[in-house]
A and B are shown apart, each in its own frame.
Chain A
């Protein structure tokens, strides 16, 4: 019996070590690639002139699509902020996705909207259109409001694609705070490439507790809560390390739904957003890339690391769990929908690197971790393992987690240094010490729960209440 238990522990330990080494290699790989990518980005953009862009009549016009569902509280303010974006030619298309509140009426009154003839293309099938509105006031001539039956975010964006007039679309979350030059920066990959650019994405930053005036970030601050600060670290890791690295090897599978730019024609050819998944943003990009690859068309996906879009992250455990549950389901759904790509050399980097990475690191990682914890607990309860063994495994995971977060803080310091006050850096380092114990288990469990919910057939987004950024940073 003693021999069997020892053997089990040994086998488990070896497996654990192998998996750990794979994870560590993956993170080292992403750290190296992203540091080179950030360095090159900085070098490339040292001597660029945005002013030249603003004066040009030859820039592609952009349709900014912003779905809104029950956003009455902040919608008007957010639209006003969007209308002041720096770009020579753009339209703002707000898609009211059958809101139950008074959003539409408020928009009609504030912007003096009048109904237009409901002419639109039928590129993608959507729920029924109720009306198209345009403002009578010249100052708001760039604004259009689409009213439709409720069908979810993906359906609303598809309706936006059907109704918008320009060839480049920028899909955003209406409650995000965009930097004034964000469109100019995000369009760059479309301009400066000899290949067809199908999409470009940017880094999403955490806006909680930042000082915001007239829809602009005036002062960058750390969130007040531990959950908020932990998510800053998480966003550093995901964007500055993860996506920068994937961008370097042209293996990016996700452009955040909060702020992404797409070539409309390619989106239409790929069939638009899929409303049968809760991870519609990831699924769209994967499908677009797959279509391009299958058609043999050379293409590129751009990524801009400048801080362009600021969003509110959940600061309550309940909302955070719902969000991560949905992200986990979205990831699994996308990987299942495109399982043909997994380990398939026909899809190049996507098939051999990106999708396997997402499967092992994003889908399986929390499950394996959860099983590992359960295994340890069972062994401990049965008295098959002693405290020292448990501690040594715990310490190796803990130190690696800290190392990963500290590296991400270093990347931020090396690249954009948004958190100017030195105390913020110390607070983030302190957060990195606590995060593996206090924060990580929450998101791990949410991801595991997401998998369970998916097996049970749960399809909903889950209520995502937000405190709103209107009062951020005000004391």
Chain B
């Protein structure tokens, strides 16, 4: 029987390693417990400091905006040297400035910007923008674009081509929000896909835009398909009906997603003249676009339009048959769909239906 004594010197190497590991694990565990406590205490202290600074800042802003007796430049200096001690203080104040700026207009908004410059927040953010940390750059871009404050363009242009999607996004928003005349000019030089998220943000910014919305037709021949798709959506969103002929041209575009968006937009705009071209394209279209064309017929076409597509929906296109069935029910008064097509046995019935449909069209 092996006898192991509690004398460490007699312990085998394995046991010694285990003992050391136990001690290491215990120490690290204790370290993490301390870290948890430290984080909690630090968070509470920071929170309390934040509340205090915010309260002081709100008082200061109120006085700066509404008390005409104070010496503004002295007040700015006093506040700066009394309260702004760390980078965390800068961050708190930048957030507050953004909140004020969002809620104030006109002269008050200009005074908020004066505070922004006066407290050295512009300088602070500009340093972030020149730094190498992407998230500091993103924060600076976010603040500048929200406040509509311009910075030297050579700082921002390279970010449009950044590998980091967040930086690209903030650069886009910056150009949108600071442009006085041509908010979408950056699209000319944009490389890479415009993600859906970026599209949503641009659309959102444009909706609150005070200058004239640009004509989106300008980018319908852009080499990047996602930008073309975005412009088609925006033509619809901003009711630029003058561009309908160009949208119709997009039905011939090489990219499936562009054609899809064109079909969707033309359908929503109820451009019935485009339907004939869609019907012509139907046999060569992808499954998704075929489906869109079927639904376009539902909105702008007749049963005859639908009937012309029957030969092009093949026996194996079960999903399209279901779509066809759904849509043809809207024309129930012209054809007894339910009695001709049983949804349970749709695919089996389809060839018979194709034949019936062909005879009907010959008869007509």
Contact = CB atoms under 8 A, between A and B. Distances in A.
Q: Do A and B share a complex?
A: yes
Interface of A: 2, 5-6, 9-10, 13-14, 17, 43-44, 46-47, 49, 52-53, 55-60, 117-123, 188, 190-194, 383-386, 388-389, 392-393, 395-396, 399-400, 402-403, 406-407, 409-410, 413-414, 417, 422, 425, 429
Nearest to B133: A43
Given A118-B343, A386-B3, A395-B22, 13 more contacts: A5-B2, A43-B138, A49-B201, A55-B207, A56-B200, A192-B196, A194-B195, A392-B22, A396-B21, A402-B29, A403-B32, A409-B36, A422-B40
Given A407-B32, A417-B43, A399 B22 contact: yes
Nearest to B28: A403
Interface string B11-22: 010110111011
B18 A396 contact: yes
Contact of A14 (B14, B195, B196, B199): B14
B70 interface: no
Interface residues of B, number: 54
A78 B139 CA distance: 39
A413 B39 CA distance: 7
Given A396-B18, A407-B32, A425-B36, A58 B200 contact: yes
29 contacts: A9-B2, A17-B18, A47-B142, A52-B204, A53-B200, A55-B207, A58-B233, A121-B319, A122-B322, A123-B319, A191-B195, A191-B197, A192-B165, A192-B196, A192-B198, A193-B195, A386-B2, A388-B5, A393-B18, A396-B25, A399-B25, A400-B25, A402-B29, A403-B25, A410-B32, A410-B39, A413-B39, A425-B40, A429-B33
A28 to B, nearest CB: 10
B318 A122 contact: yes
Contacts of A17: 14, 17-18
A118 B22 CA distance: 64
Given A47-B139, A403-B29, A388 B4 contact: yes
A386 B5 CA distance: 9
B203 interface: yes
Nearest to B23: A399
Interface string B199-217: 1110110010000000000
Nearest to B30: A406
Given A56-B204, A57-B237, A429-B33, A384 B1 contact: yes
B166 interface: yes
A400 B342 CA distance: 64
Contacts of B142: 47
B2 A190 contact: no
B326 interface: yes
A176 B5 CA distance: 55
A400 B318 CA distance: 57
Contacts of A422: 40
Contacts of B195: 191-194
B336 interface: no
Given A47-B138, A389-B15, A2 B25 contact: no
B36 A121 contact: no
A9 B18 CA distance: 14
Contacts of B203: 56, 58
Interface in B174-221: 192-193, 195-201, 203-204, 207
Contacts of A425: 36-37, 40
Nearest to A401: B25
8 closest Cβ pairs, A-B complex: A399-B25, A52-B204, A191-B197, A47-B142, A43-B135, A191-B196, A192-B197, A403-B29
Given A13-B14, A43-B135, A383 B1 contact: yes
B60 interface: no
Contacts of B19: 392, 395-396
Given A44-B166, A410-B32, A52 B4 contact: no
B321 to A, nearest CB: 10
A384 B4 CA distance: 11
A231 to B, nearest CB: 19
Contacts of B325: 119
A194 to B, nearest CB: 5
A5 B4 CA distance: 13
Contacts of A389: 4, 15
